[in-house]
Structure 1
Amino acid sequence: MDNSTISIRDAKPEDCDQIITLIQELANFANMPNGPKLSADVLRKDGFGEEKMFRCLVACDGDCLVAYALYFFNYSTWEGVNLYLEDLYVTPAYRHRGIGTKLWRKVAQVAVDRKCNRLDWVCLGWNKQSIEFYKSKGSVNLTLDEDWNLFRLSGDNLRAFANNSQ
């Protein structure tokens, strides 16, 4: 396939229906088909509303979105401003064409331009091909190298803890 028809740009509110479809594809790929809980309307509000909670780049083949990278800024008390890449996904028919690398590189450039100190993301342990690719570009696996553990408090447990009932 020819990459000359692929363009990368900032996402727009009208892309949210296609982004939701790609999010579900990513969940299916990750063996978590019931994971996504968002609607396109929530995505539009959170990404393009009054308070923008994330930013997103998309790769397009004409009017069809074939990949996306969703990210947001966070803050480290050790290092200051950082960028967190929540999702990077390329639909199967467009893989192995460098689209994912181009999206990742654009996100990295955003981090550099915004003077972020680091770019963080997670990768499923079984995704060995991606892990090796990330390492080949100089990324560090914090689980192995620094023994950081990722924790999550959600749903009823989050509400119970916040309400001091747990």
Structure 2
Amino acid sequence: MECEICGKTVPENNPIRAKIEGSVMVVCKECSKLGTIQKAPQQPKFRQQPKGKKAKNTKNTGNYSRRDEPSEELIEDFNLKIRKARETKNWSREDLGKKINERVSVITRIETGKMTPDTKLTKKIEKTLNIKLLEKVNNIDLNQFINTSTGERALGSIMKIKRK
């Protein structure tokens, strides 16, 4: 077993689980200092099927994975693009709010960058202002970041860790 941050070997009989930036990871002793050490998770208890009964048949969805399809992300300067498109149409924030059925305060927070709109609101804004705010992003192939010494992927092989 390897540390999910730096890739060092972690003893399998007693792995250290640490919560770092909201994620629980198996880490080495040195990397466990970056977060708070967690207790070992309890094993889930499963009910046994009564004899003679079969498990419910589940649909086979095939080999399709959601990871294969590109996801949509909001563009970086969405707030400026929204404001510029609104001003081009000579609409006030109140006018845009009425057209997409949102409060003026929401439009103000979006245009100032204090709020990121969810996908549903983003699509309403795109349709109303006739602009493109969502872009398709292909998933990153992590195979290019494989740690050459062990051949395994670790968080530390694709990002720099800033130690205090």
Report which of the two structures shows the higher radius of gyration computed on alpha carbons: 2
TM-score (norm 2): 0.22
Per residue, is there more strand in 1 or in 2? 1
Q: TM-score, normalised by structure 1?
A: 0.22
Which has the larger share of helix? 1
